[in-house]
A and B are shown apart, each in its own frame.
Chain A
Amino acid sequence: MMNDPLFQQWRELSWRRKLTAAEDAEVRAWLAVHPEAQPDWEAETALNDALGRLPEVPVATNFTARVLQAVELDRAASARERKWLGWQPWKRWLPRMALAAIVLGAGLFSHHEVVANRRAKLVRSVEVVSKVSSLPSPAILEDFDAIQRLTPPPAADEQLLSLLQ
């Protein structure tokens, strides 16, 4: 009986508001035919009364004024923020430009270091080469005596000479 659609409909209606006199009369008529539903209906109406007695939570008398004040403060803060960002677009781009400059600077510095490093290696390799004793001029090779003087003749074989005598 409690699941009777009509009873359920009245029940749901009573949850939200007090039944009209006509609705109340209909319910009473239905309950007269279904007395087993009476305790449940009484419990429902008693609970409705109890919930209806819940007091309103106190609200400050200046509630609306405080809300309007908070809204005004928020609006002023937003206006200041917009002003700081400025109507000049470049001010908005300033942080990005700063970052781009840092990245570019770092790149250029790295490139300079690489080039300087290569140059240093080249200098070191040239220095090694320059330490080799300087060779005589090729012109002296045209003169045999001069060539002879370059490489001292081997020492005389004294033993052989004595044998030949």
Chain B
Amino acid sequence: MPAEHDPDAALMLRVKQGDTHAFAELVDKYKQPVTNVAARMLRDPTEAEDLAQNVFIQVYKSAPRYEVASKFSTWLFTIVRNLCLNEIRRRSRHPADSMDTAHPEQEDQPLHQFEDKKTFSPPDSLLQGELEQKIEQVLAELPENQRTAIVLCRQNELSYEEIAEVLGCSLSATKSLIHRGRETLKQKLKPYLRTGAWSEPK
């Protein structure tokens, strides 16, 4: 994509020339979405901010070699995903199994299913904070590739083609990942969805 159609790529080209103001502009614009994606990929909001900082440091170090081969946001979220995967792999060297290990027979399901031992009272008694926690919990239980696909899908900056590029798979595979992840979410959140607990108050 030509730089003139992507203002962020144009900013990045200025960073390449040593413009730190352009770099600060990019950081300000993307710090929130980058942190959101990192937090959901790592399932750790605390670590996510450190990783997000490392993402931008990596962006700055890569500036001399930067070429406008794709949209800036695609390139940026590819860095986010790679650093998150490195961190997940580093953690998986810990003796405990990685939470991202897929079930050998059902690749849609993680190896470890963490049973929700809470007994939820009828949805209309749930506070908004508890509901959000439930969504976060169920999202965190998805396999990494499905989770990442769904989280990136919520980022308005990326089209399906760009999400596929970040994930390193085809467009159809990307949509399949999103579909399967969403089916799992719908199944696990069924009690709340059925009663319409999330419909906008009238």
Chain A interface residues toward B at CB < 8 A: 12, 15-17, 42-44, 46-47, 49-60, 63-64, 66-68, 70-71, 74
Interface string of B2-13 (1 = CB under 8 A from A): 000000000000
Interface of B is mostly: helix
9 nearest interchain CB pairs?
A: A57-B39, A46-B193, A64-B27, A67-B56, A49-B198, A71-B60, A57-B45, A57-B35, A59-B35
What are the residues of chain A within 8 A of B182 when measuring CB–CB?
A: 15, 44, 47
Chain B interface residues toward A at CB < 8 A: 20, 23-24, 27-28, 31-32, 35-36, 39, 45, 48-49, 52-53, 56-57, 60-61, 128, 131-132, 135-136, 139, 150, 153-154, 156, 159-160, 175, 178, 182, 185-186, 189, 192-193, 196, 198-200
What are the residues of chain B within 8 A of A51 when measuring CB–CB?
A: 135, 150, 154
Asked if A50 and B53 sit within 8 Å, CB to CB, the answer is no
Interface of A is mostly: helix
Asked if A68 and B24 sit within 8 Å, CB to CB, the answer is yes
Determine which of B31, B32, B136, B160 lies in contact with A12 in the assembled complex, contact meaning CB atoms within 8 Å: B160
Nearest CB in chain A to that of B33: its residue: A56
Asked if A57 and B189 sit within 8 Å, CB to CB, the answer is no
Asked if A47 and B185 sit within 8 Å, CB to CB, the answer is yes
Asked if A50 and B189 sit within 8 Å, CB to CB, the answer is yes
CA distance A155 to B193 in the complex (A): 141
What are 23 inter-chain pairs, A to B, with CB distance below 8 A?
A12-B160, A16-B156, A16-B159, A42-B193, A46-B199, A47-B193, A49-B198, A49-B199, A50-B193, A51-B135, A53-B132, A55-B132, A57-B32, A57-B35, A57-B49, A59-B32, A59-B35, A64-B27, A67-B53, A67-B56, A67-B57, A68-B20, A70-B53
Number of A-B contacts (CB under 8 A): 97
CA distance A12 to B189 in the complex (A): 20
Shortest Cβ distance from residue B18 to the other chain A in the assembled complex, whole angstroms: 10
Determine which of A15, A42, A49, A64 lies in contact with B153 in the assembled complex, contact meaning CB atoms within 8 Å: A15
Determine which of A49, A52, A59 lies in contact with B31 in the assembled complex, contact meaning CB atoms within 8 Å: A59
Nearest CB in chain A to that of B44: its residue: A57
Nearest CB in chain B to that of A17: its residue: B156
